[in-house]
Amino acid sequence: MSSTFTGITTALNALMAHRQAIDVAGQNVANANTVGYTRQRADLTAVSATGHGGLFTKIDAPGWGVEVTSITRIVDSFVDARQRDAHASSAFANAVQAAWTGIEQVVNEPSDTGISAQLSEFWSSWHDVANHPDDVSARSQLLSQARTLASTITSSRAAVDTQFTTTRNQLSAVADQISSTARSVADLNDRIRTAQATGSQVNELADQRDQLVLQLSDLAGATARSNDDGTVDVLLGGSMLVSGTRSTAVRVAGSDNVDNVGTTSPTGPGPVHLEFTDGRSVVVTSGQAGGLMTAMNTVYPSAAAGLDSVATTLRDTVNTVHRTGKGLDDADAAGRDFFSGTSARTLAVAITDPRQVAAAAGDKGSFDASLADSIAQLGGAPGSADVTWRSYVAQIGVGSQAATRRVTLQDSVVKQADGARDSVSGVSVDEEMTNLLMFQRAYEGAARVMTAVDQTLDTLINRTGLVGR
């Protein structure tokens, strides 16, 4: 048999539980647009009347109302993991694509001022010298055109170097961000563990932390692993970045210029990579950091090598012929180089005196122009600098195109993953409104129950035993 006042307790429980449920709906609506917020649900559980009765106690009564047993974050850890993975891949693709776009800008083709057009001008200048070997101004014109060409090639190469340096600085900033974010995650882990131990609600802290973990995925393709005490471990390429309440910092190591990324340590600085501040290396192949490293270790070196091969091809093809010729004041083959330098970075015109330009074959008169004609024909020959340049541009174009396609693809994957997370954890205002209505009605109902019990008791207490009064 239940107590006389059970009904009041039941109604009170219901009032308290639904008020709390309304609060939760309010919190959800308040955070409908908060980034990373996970919707919460008040878990209502009916309170059984069974209690701790004796073995043979028979309680023949309804339950004691309702209680909020917990406020749950609605998350699907697989969806979250997928989201982190998608973000990491997308950040990687974007970083690589940015590098290709930068190289494409350096290439500046197709244009009327690019290296291709300048090569054409250069060969044309040789034709002009071939037409007027006696004309010093044609030779001066040739030299100035050659200098323009060489300086365009060297400045393109310098632009690649600058991009490498900028990217490396960017990676340093990313490494700092990874370290500080990891520290924040560890701090939040600590607060969550403490709060959870005291039975406090940690949903908002967990949201903040998960948001930071997502940032780490974006930055370096970090993966997360939940622990029983509410903390998460964050792993970077299999190594612990955050382990419970402890975090490690990372820094950039390896080559600081585009020429040395092909070396291997310990003989050289090795490719650009990340390492923990205690010197252990970290394998990062995803996220923004992974993309930046791919740019520095693959994209920029190949761009630099391409420019170098254009420069050396130009130097070798021209010099080989030029050495066999003689200038205006030479009696015999002079053996002079036209271009000097060892790479695109140092390519320069070796000749300063226009009279020393060898237009004449070594065994012919000084106004002979057969050599100038041979050099002018180099541009159209197979294996020429023009052909090397064109295949280099094609290589850049194909690389950039593939990178852009990957970005488009990854962006749509991210969109899907974000949508999936939103589908599970996002706040729907309509849904919260419906819940509010539901809880409000239930609250009103509970209040009515309380009134009903009150009136019943009023009848019992105040209106009974008055016979004959």
Partner 1 sequence: MRVTQHTIATSSLANLQANLGRVSQLQEQMTSGKVINRPSDSPTGTISALDLKAQIKATEQYSRNADDAVSWLGAQDTTLGSINDVLQRVRSLTLTGISTGNSDVDARKAIATEIASLRDSVLGMANTTYLGRPIFGGTTSGSQAFAVDTSDPSATPSPVTYVGDGGQVDRRVNANATVRVDSSGTAVFGPDGASLFTVLDRIAKNVLDDPAALQADLGALDTATMAVRTARTDVGSRYGQAEAARQTADDRVLTLRATLSGVEDIDLPHTIMDLQMQQMAYQTALGATAKALQPSLLDFLR
Can you give the binding site for partner 1, defined by CB under 8 A?
32-33, 100, 104-105, 107, 109-110, 112, 116-117, 119-121, 123-124, 127, 130-135, 328, 360, 364-370, 373, 376-377, 379-380, 386, 389-391, 393-394, 396-398, 400-401, 404, 415, 418-419, 422-424, 426-431, 433-434, 437
Minimum CB–partner distance for residue 367 and partner 1 (Å): 4
| SS3 of the chain | CCCCCHHHHHHHHHHHHHHHHHHHHHHHHHCCCCCCCCCEEEEEEECCCCCCCCCCCCCCCCCCCEEEEEEEECCCHHHHHHHHHHHHHHHHHHHHHHHHHHHHHHHCCCCCCCHHHHHHHHHHHHHHHHHCCCCHHHHHHHHHHHHHHHHHHHHHHHHHHHHHHHHHHHHHHHHHHHHHHHHHHHHHHHHHHHHHHCCCCCHHHHHHHHHHHHHHHHHHCCEEEECCCCCEEEEECCEEEEECCEECCEEEECCCCCCCCCCCCCCCCCCCEEEECCCCEECCCCHHHHHHHHHHHHHHHHHHHHHHHHHHHHHHHHHHHHCCEECCCCCCCCCCCCEECCCCCCCEECCCCHHHCCCEECCCCCCCCHHHHHHHHHHHCCCCHHHHHHHHHHHHHHHHHHHHHHHHHHHHHHHHHHHHHHHHHCCCHHHHHHHHHHHHHHHHHHHHHHHHHHHHHHHHHHHCCCCCC
Report the residue number, 173 or 398, with the smaller CB distance to partner 1.
Answer: 398
Minimum CB–partner distance for residue 17 and partner 1 (Å): 23
Minimum CB–partner distance for residue 410 and partner 1 (Å): 13
Minimum CB–partner distance for residue 216 and partner 1 (Å): 22
Minimum CB–partner distance for residue 260 and partner 1 (Å): 27
Report the residue number, 31 or 208, with the smaller CB distance to partner 1.
Answer: 31
Report the residue number, 409 or 452, with the smaller CB distance to partner 1.
Answer: 409
Token digits for 373? 């004609």
Report the residue number, 308 or 368, with the smaller CB distance to partner 1.
Answer: 368
Report the residue number, 46 or 429, with the smaller CB distance to partner 1.
Answer: 429
Minimum CB–partner distance for residue 304 and partner 1 (Å): 17
Angle (nearest 5°) at CA 14 between 12 and 16 = 70
Report the residue number, 340 or 440, with the smaller CB distance to partner 1.
Answer: 440
Minimum CB–partner distance for residue 454 and partner 1 (Å): 29
Sign of CA dihedral 266, 269, 272, 276: positive
Minimum CB–partner distance for residue 400 and partner 1 (Å): 4
CA distances to 276, 284, 319, 322 from 335, rounded to whole Å, are 55, 52, 9, 7
Report the residue number, 53 or 419, with the smaller CB distance to partner 1.
Answer: 419
Report the residue number, 37 or 338, with the smaller CB distance to partner 1.
Answer: 37
Report the residue number, 95 or 328, with the smaller CB distance to partner 1.
Answer: 328
Query: Distance (Å, rounded) from C-alpha 428 to C-alpha 424?
Result: 10
Minimum CB–partner distance for residue 433 and partner 1 (Å): 4
Minimum CB–partner distance for residue 415 and partner 1 (Å): 6
Query: Distance (Å, rounded) from C-alpha 201 to C-alpha 27?
Result: 13
Report the residue number, 33 or 155, with the smaller CB distance to partner 1.
Answer: 33
Report the residue number, 281 or 370, with the smaller CB distance to partner 1.
Answer: 370
Sign of CA dihedral 463, 464, 468, 469: negative
Minimum CB–partner distance for residue 365 and partner 1 (Å): 3
